[in-house]
Structure 1
Amino acid sequence: MNIFGLFERRVGEALDRLAAAGKIPAGIDTSKVLVEPPRDASHGDLATNAAMAVAKAAKTNPRQLAELIAEDLRTDPRVSEASVAGPGFINMSLHPHVLHDVVRAALLDTAGFGRSGQGAGAAVNVEYVSANPTGPMHVGHGRGAVFGDALANLLAFAGYKVTREYYVNDAGAQVDVLARSAFLRYREALGDAIGEIPEGLYPGDYLVPVGQALAERHGPALRDLPEAEWLPVVRAAAIEAMMALIRDDLASLDIRHDVFFSERSLTKGEVDKIGETIEELRARGLVYEGRLPPPKGQLPDDWEDREQTLFRATAFGDDVDRPLLKSDGSYTYFAADIAYHRSKFERGFATMIDVWGADHGGYVKRMQAAVQAVSGGRAELDVKLCQLVKLLRGGEPVKMSKRAGDFVTLREVVDEVGRDPVRFMMLYRKNDAPLDFDLAKVLEQSKDNPVFYVQYAHARCASVFRQAGEAFPGRVPALEELATADLSLLADEAELELQRRIAQYPRIVEAAAQAHEPHRIAFYLYDLSSVFHGLWNKGKDLPQLRFVKHDDERSTRARLALLGALKAVLASGLGTLGVSAPDEMR
């Protein structure tokens, strides 16, 4: 039950009646009309910008129009008051039974409350992580992994058909470097003295088991072969081992993908998909042979003034056209990425979301141009950039990992603090803002630790139900039965405010899904928990507000109904973030 959506439609009906009465023109655009919580809670339960959003098109004074809309809203049996403020805002107060209906809706459908049909089953491809398969995942990868997974959960909850995808970069120079690094460990496993790991190769100990496995499988047979013969064998084995390692790292965060798409498959099948894509774009006049102007500032060492095969990225809003072939005739990474996103479109995805590290920000415009080109303007790409994570312990930077060689692995962090703190804290900051992740602070049991604060709210709700079971043995009803409780007994302002916050959940879900911003759920859960903890503390001083009253079963049932709805929302929101909702805290 989304009361904000209900009243957006109700405001639209008021505008339709005004148009039918000839007071405003018919058919005006109402897409910018919003119904949301007022900035000041003392102003009521809902606020709308309707008059200001349509006044220009209606050719009328916004405040005068607001008075007409408010007059219509006052006839609604759910509205106790509708008043005009400022230049034309309309504030509404609702009769308590509207909030009671929200509580009942949450009790009658604990798993589905807040679920939306917004997506209407539309297919969405969310590609996230896509780390090069050259080693274990680091903490920075973890932020994109958690963000992408939570976004996929959120979109599914909002009614989209979501495919979770990982693009395996198993072609190109970096996997050849991986193979040479693994071959060195293979020789080591055979007993060769390899000395220091040469510069340019991967030094981490994580490749030792790969070398040992190669030695067990092949014995010394690979050692004396020319590189051209052992390289593909070692490369395939190393990639397989690294992807197994990455999958295991992701599983520690309960992250799993539906599709692992191989970059090599674009050129190693029966059809060269990259070449085919280039020729298709050429036939449409979007690929040509030409020269690029020199980049501004000091020229890079590898810049060449030569005729190149170029994609007309500028036709789709990019700054310059982009090369598709290197000087040696091989494809650029961009060419492969165009073919890959063409594959997504051919698989039925008109909405694509890519989650990248912030260091790829300069790549966004060209990829959005490419998606526009390969789809004929029928698909859109939204790129979400995740900023860096600074790993701290008690405010001090954490030292590098011995296992990885030059970074702290994601698995080390998960093993130390647990899945829930990692997931919640990765989302308790907007994705494009830098994140300080303090290993000591995320284990504190205090209000300053958001994940503890929210989980503690859920555990406190569960503890109240246990207390009620002890006070009224065998007489604590199921949540569905609590929907019949007398909710008019919840008359204290703190109880009403908690009901208002619960009512916001469906709106938060839709807004977060539309903006592709799962952090909004984390922020909402913290604010919701804060209101609940405030009510809990108020009950310590005012016995009449305590949740379990041994001498008053009616009020106990009413408060259990409120906490049952709260508990359902907390569990739903935490579940969307991929965080557990414990009934007890350790």
Structure 2
Amino acid sequence: MTDHDIFAALRARTVALLAELLPDLPGEAFARVQMEPPRDPSHGDMATNAALVVAKQARQAPPRLAAALAERLAALPEVESATPAGPGFVNLRLRDAFLLAQVPVILAEGERYGDGQAGAARRVDVEYVSANPTGPMHVGHCRGAVVGDALANLLAKAGWAVTKEYYVNDAGAQVQALGYAAYWRYLQALGTTMGEAEYAALVPGGLQYRGEYLILVGEALRVRFGDSLARRDDAHGFGMRDPGEWLDTVREFAVGRMMEMIREDLAALGVHQDVFVSEAALVRAGKLEQAEALLAGKGLIYRGVLEPPKGKTPEDWEPREQTLFRATQFGDEVDRPLRKSDGSGTYFANDIANHLHKIERGFAELVHVWGADHGGYVKRMQAAVAALSGGTVPLDVVLTQIVHVVKDGQPVRMSKRAGTYVTLRDLIDEVGRDAVRFTMLARKADAQMEFDLDKVVEQSRDNPVFYVQYAHARIRSVLRQAGDPPAGDLALATLDSLSEPAELALLRRLTTWPRIVEAAALAREPHRIAFFLHDLASDFHVLWNKGREDATLRFIRPDEPEATRARLALVAATGTVIRSGLAVMGVTPVEEMR
């Protein structure tokens, strides 16, 4: 709860009044009391469920309790009216003077307005992107990167102590395949005459990565190692040596170069993570064995045989004894294997090691952003974290749906292994970082998205990026025209002249910002910030257009200095909140539209 959050303040007053009405109820009985903006603005400025959620414990009829509570709320100096509604709600309408008093609060707080304490400084690790380091980032990674980064910013604004983490998946078959692909480009850099098909026939599983981005890696290997990693070959000049002599070296070198490229791509997107954790390093450090021992000590590891997977019949499935984790004890559908037949850890086992590492670092909460194709993996990972932490560390997973890129009305195809996909850098070069970030947050993360390269740069109301930025540019234009008065001076303005319904509607929207921040953070839904900014921009544009139609509503009226100062204060407060919201989204506000 924060002093500038009028919803939190009115909730506190409501709880206090309810406690006076029901002195026999314990304090925890009021934990589910909420104060929210009503779905229908015609119902008022706020609505509370207070009577509804405590009526049963108080052994009173909800409507009757709501009427008694409404009577007391109506007597508060900031409340214009309080009306019982429905099965036990109370709708509040606030006095204009109380709302107007929030303008100097916003101006004094600046972009800190909306900062909250919902997180209570709890340490939270937000892991996002975490793409296999096998190539440049593509548009599929982009959405998760933006959603994760904005969510981390949002949690920080709402009072959590946030660490932004990238988990480097540098162990396993995909990275092994990268090593062979980089080696092929190395042989090419040496001038081998061997054909790609001939080389691919020597590679376990074939040559999987053919992107041109590996040409530079091959050249860098040649510069670093000369021809020492290759075999002299009379037929081709240079050929493959035994992989045991070079594979680890080439793989680590290639991963390092890929991570440099990924960091540059993320920086271009405005994403700067605090921590990069290597899966391979955790495996080498014995973290998997440590996690396994911890779970075994709790009786959660056993040797057993699983039922056939869904869609498999006993005829096309071979049962075998495996090392299993009792995931079903924590809500998963089946127990999960930890070891492969060769004794190495499964992908899931390595992820358990990763999460043990997070818990050991003292995080109170874990948040992941994954692609929707990992949806079936959520329950088992939550089960593992619950087991490792004794149920003390929650794991929230935000799933992001795929993005379809469209240009000139036609889909732009992606194919990572063929090297013909749309890279993140392509997207940024085409439309700009801010447009990419805002657009990726303009829909709920788990909804599929069509990213239209033409529409995101279109200057129209239908483009939310333009619409919000245009509002901020107009605000800056007004303030520059007025000589850019300091916020501290505007905070002293007399605001009684702000009585036009459109002015008050804009002000009401501004005062919901702290509540929006808290609600979005708790729900792990950063898209709510984009929605709020669009609504706020709409309210501002309405007021701007009214000033064009009616000269008495213009922001600057030289013949009315006090009214002008009041309107400039409202305009400046609106710009402050827009910048506060854009900062959460990682989008730079524009000073003017070009």
User: Do residues 554 (structure 1) and 562 (structure 2) align?
Assistant: yes
93-102 or 158-167: which moved more? 93-102
Residue matched to 1:97: 97
Residue matched to 1:486: 494
219-228 or 391-400: which moved more? 391-400
Residue matched to 2:244: 228
User: Do residues 256 (structure 1) and 280 (structure 2) align?
Assistant: no
The amino acid across from 2:297 in the alignment is A
Residue matched to 1:6: 9
The amino acid across from 1:477 in the alignment is P
Please, which of 567, 576, 586 is the counterpart of residue 584 of structure 2? 576
386-395 or 244-253: which moved more? 386-395
Q: Give the C-alpha shift of residue 301 in structure 1.
A: 10
CA distance in 1, matches of 2:125, 2:46: 35
Question: Is the CA contact 1:165–1:259 (under 8 Å) kept in the aligned structure 2?
Answer: yes
The amino acid across from 2:447 in the alignment is A
Residue matched to 1:243: 259
User: Do residues 80 (structure 1) and 80 (structure 2) align?
Assistant: yes
Question: Is the CA contact 1:206–1:404 (under 8 Å) kept in the aligned structure 2?
Answer: no
359-368 or 547-556: which moved more? 547-556
The amino acid across from 1:219 in the alignment is G
What pairs with 1:407-426 in structure 2 (closer than 5 Å)? Answer: 407-426=421-440
Q: Which runs of 5+ in 2 are unaligned?
A: 201-205, 232-240
Describe the shift of the 1:235–1:528 C-alpha distance in structure 2 as closer, same or farther (beyond 3 A): same
CA distance in 2, matches of 1:42, 1:323: 56
Describe the shift of the 1:19–1:403 C-alpha distance in structure 2 as closer, same or farther (beyond 3 A): closer
Please, which of 291, 304, 310 is the counterpart of residue 318 of structure 2? 304
CA distance in 2, matches of 1:174, 1:187: 20
- For this pair of structures, how many residues does the alignment match? 575
What pairs with 1:59-458 in structure 2 (closer than 5 Å)? Answer: 59-196=59-196, 198=200, 199-224=206-231, 225-269=241-285, 272-299=286-313, 303-400=317-414, 405-458=419-472
Q: Which runs of 5+ in 1 are unaligned?
A: 470-475
Residue matched to 2:593: 585
Question: Is the CA contact 1:28–1:54 (under 8 Å) kept in the aligned structure 2?
Answer: no
CA distance in 1, matches of 2:550, 2:277: 60
Question: Is the CA contact 1:401–1:409 (under 8 Å) kept in the aligned structure 2?
Answer: no
Residue matched to 1:465: 479
What's the secondary structure of 1:111's corresponding residue? helix
The amino acid across from 1:539 in the alignment is G
What's the secondary structure of 2:101's corresponding residue? helix
TM-score, with normalisation over the residues of structure 1? 0.95
Two-structure CA RMSD over aligned residues (Å): 1.7
What's the secondary structure of 2:444's corresponding residue? coil
CA distance in 2, matches of 1:436, 1:477: 42
CA distance in 2, matches of 1:442, 1:403: 28
What's the secondary structure of 1:129's corresponding residue? coil
Please, which of 523, 528, 531 is the counterpart of residue 523 of structure 1? 531
What's the secondary structure of 2:482's corresponding residue? helix
The amino acid across from 1:233 in the alignment is T
Q: How big is each residue's C-alpha offset from its partner over 1:348-385, in whole Å with a ceiling of 9 and x where there is no partner? A: 01200011111111111100000001111111111111
Q: How big is each residue's C-alpha offset from its partner over 1:298-324, in whole Å with a ceiling of 9 and x where there is no partner? A: 359995311110000001110000111
Question: Is the CA contact 2:365–2:393 (under 8 Å) kept in the aligned structure 1?
Answer: yes
The amino acid across from 2:455 in the alignment is K
CA distance in 2, matches of 1:497, 1:292: 60
Question: Is the CA contact 2:186–2:222 (under 8 Å) kept in the aligned structure 1?
Answer: yes
What's the secondary structure of 2:339's corresponding residue? coil
CA distance in 1, matches of 2:485, 2:438: 32
What's the secondary structure of 1:378's corresponding residue? coil
CA distance in 2, matches of 1:388, 1:276: 36
Q: Give the C-alpha shift of residue 565 in structure 1.
A: 0.6
Q: How big is each residue's C-alpha offset from its partner over 1:55-106, in whole Å with a ceiling of 9 and x where there is no partner? A: 2222112111111001111221111211222333212121112111211111
What's the secondary structure of 1:221's corresponding residue? coil
CA distance in 2, matches of 1:117, 1:364: 28
Residue matched to 1:17: 20
CA distance in 1, matches of 2:296, 2:556: 73
Q: Give the C-alpha shift of residue 296 in structure 1.
A: 2.9
The amino acid across from 1:166 in the alignment is Y
Amino-acid identity (%): 57
Please, which of 495, 499, 502 is the counterpart of residue 510 of structure 2? 502
The amino acid across from 2:441 in the alignment is L
Question: Is the CA contact 1:458–1:583 (under 8 Å) kept in the aligned structure 2?
Answer: yes
CA distance in 2, matches of 1:302, 1:228: 35
What's the secondary structure of 2:324's corresponding residue? strand
CA distance in 2, matches of 1:301, 1:8: 62
Describe the shift of the 1:302–1:159 C-alpha distance in structure 2 as closer, same or farther (beyond 3 A): farther
CA distance in 1, matches of 2:458, 2:310: 50
TM-score, with normalisation over the residues of structure 2? 0.94
Describe the shift of the 1:28–1:516 C-alpha distance in structure 2 as closer, same or farther (beyond 3 A): closer
CA distance in 1, matches of 2:209, 2:263: 20
CA distance in 2, matches of 1:557, 1:300: 79
Describe the shift of the 1:402–1:165 C-alpha distance in structure 2 as closer, same or farther (beyond 3 A): closer
Q: Give the C-alpha shift of residue 193 in structure 1.
A: 2.6
Question: Is the CA contact 2:306–2:319 (under 8 Å) kept in the aligned structure 1?
Answer: yes
CA distance in 2, matches of 1:392, 1:478: 44
Describe the shift of the 1:62–1:143 C-alpha distance in structure 2 as closer, same or farther (beyond 3 A): same
Question: Is the CA contact 1:309–1:323 (under 8 Å) kept in the aligned structure 2?
Answer: yes
Q: Give the C-alpha shift of residue 442 in structure 1.
A: 0.1
Question: Is the CA contact 2:308–2:314 (under 8 Å) kept in the aligned structure 1?
Answer: no
Q: Give the C-alpha shift of residue 194 in structure 1.
A: 4.2
CA distance in 2, matches of 1:411, 1:304: 45
Q: Give the C-alpha shift of residue 47 in structure 1.
A: 1.5
Q: Give the C-alpha shift of residue 41 in structure 1.
A: 2.1
CA distance in 1, matches of 2:220, 2:53: 66
41-50 or 291-300: which moved more? 291-300
Question: Is the CA contact 1:137–1:246 (under 8 Å) kept in the aligned structure 2?
Answer: yes
Question: Is the CA contact 1:123–1:350 (under 8 Å) kept in the aligned structure 2?
Answer: yes
Question: Is the CA contact 1:127–1:353 (under 8 Å) kept in the aligned structure 2?
Answer: yes
499-508 or 280-289: which moved more? 280-289
